[in-house]
Every structure is written in C-alpha cells, then in structure tokens.
Amino acid sequence: AGLRDQRFTSLPKLTAAIVDRVSAYNDEPFQKRPGSRTSVFTTEEKPLLSPLPQVAYEISQWAYGRRVARNGHVSWARNYYSVPFEHIGSKVDLRITDRSLTVYRGDQRVTTHLLLPETAVNEYRTNDADLPAGDRYQQWDAARIRQWAERIGASTLVVINRIFESVAIDEQGLNPALAVLRLSRRYSAERVEAACRITLAGPVRSPRYAHVQPILATGQDQARPARTEPVEHGGYVRGASYYAGGTR
C-alpha cells in the first residue's frame, strides 16, 4: 500500500515510513542495466563527494582596520578582546558571528574568542597566552591605576578616585581613568597634577579627561598668577622734611 493510504499519528512515524520507502525504492534493480540506484551511488558517486564542514555555516559581519591597543586588546561593541602581543599596534580585521569573534591579520587567523553578551560593557576577554610575561604587560585594575595616580600627585589621585566612585563597577572606570593618566605621557607629571588641581577647584564633581585635557592644551596650568599692586590707604602725605625746608 502507498503512504497516502496509511494514517500516521505522529510526524516521527511518518518520517520513518518515508525513509523506509525511499530506501526500498533505491534498492530496486534497474530493468535495463545491472545494479540499482543505491549501488550506483555507492560505487560511482559517493567517492567524489567532499566531506561536510565540521562547523555549520554561520552568517557573519566584518569590521576592518581595528588597531590593537598597547594593552594587547582590540575593541568591539564596547568590549575588549585580547590579541597576541606581537600584533600590538597593528591593524586587524574582525569576523563576528552570533557566538564568536575571530581576529585576522591579512588572511591569517590570529585568535578566536567567545563573544561577550550584548549587555556587557567595558568587559575583557583575555587569553593568558596572548600577553607576554612581565609587569609591563599586567592587566590594569583599579589598584594598579591608583598607584600610578599616586606617583603623579595627590590631586591626580583624587580625580581618579572620583572617577571610580562615579561608576557602578570598577571595570567601567578603567578606561576613563587611564585616559587621564596617559596625559602624563604627552605632558609632564607636574603639569597633569596642576591641571587636576585646577579641575578640582571648579564645579565639576566627577572630573574626566574632557575636563583635564583642555587645561593642558591651552596652557592654563602654566599661567602665572596676576601681579598684585600694594594697596595705598589714604592720600599722598608729604613728610616733615618737605615742610622743614619751605619758606613762609
């Protein structure tokens, strides 16, 4: 009996019946030549097939020309992913799927990370093998940043502390704090300290790079205090010697 003459109470039962019917059809001998559809596939067609890829095809998007930062990470969607240290300063391309982020330099795959969730902000995915050993390449955290600020000066430390106080978690304050401290690489530590002191004297409760940098760029931290003239109290009075030599 054909399949249309039967009733199936579930989709799996129908599927199994179709598989059995197709297999029986393919095994039927040819009428005008030796063999069957199954034997032709097994001996002639199957050896020519290429294996299926181990990973299913995924739709992806690309981001080109992303520079690897000095901390050995590249940014994507407000988060950061590590890249092997030998690529620091280079431009790389990112292939992003629903589950992963892959870094390419040219046609060379450099590294792959599981993608952070869309709700993550200022988080890091770091492979320990990507960064070399040594204190210079230690990851930044709030304690290390405060040590750097303390070496610059007391006012700078206050600015950095206020940045961390203004965020919900320390990780959200890492980049804003580092932006302020890295001004000491362009300007001197003394000037950054002076600019932070001026910023703290103003109305801004939570100073950031946008408040400190303009002071340095315009040289406000180097402005000399206005010269003050002595204040005279009363009018000009001639001394006794003036009147002693006068005539009546």
Q: pLDDT digit string (tens) for 104-148?
A: 999 999 999 999 998 888 788 888 788 776 555 566 789 999 999
Q: pLDDT digit string (tens) for 166-194?
A: 988 888 888 899 999 999 988 999 999 99
In a domain, 234, yes or no: no
Q: How does DSSP assign 80-96, residue by residue?
A: EEE--GGGTT-EEEEEE
Query: Which of 162, 26, 137 is closest to 84 using CA atoms?
Result: 137
Q: Establish how many alpha carbons lie within 13 A of residue 116's alpha carbon, considering only the half-sphere containing its beta carbon.
A: 16
In a domain, 104, yes or no: yes
The domain of 23 spans 3-48
In a domain, 128, yes or no: yes
Q: Report CA-CA distances (Å) from 44 to 37, 58, 92.
A: 10, 31, 45
Q: Is the pTM of this model over 0.75?
A: no
Give the integer Cα–Cα distance in Å for 115 and 79.
Answer: 10
**Do 150 and 117 lie in a common domain?**
no
Q: pLDDT digit string (tens) for 94-105?
A: 999 999 999 999
In a domain, 193, yes or no: yes
Two tokens at 174?
């890492």
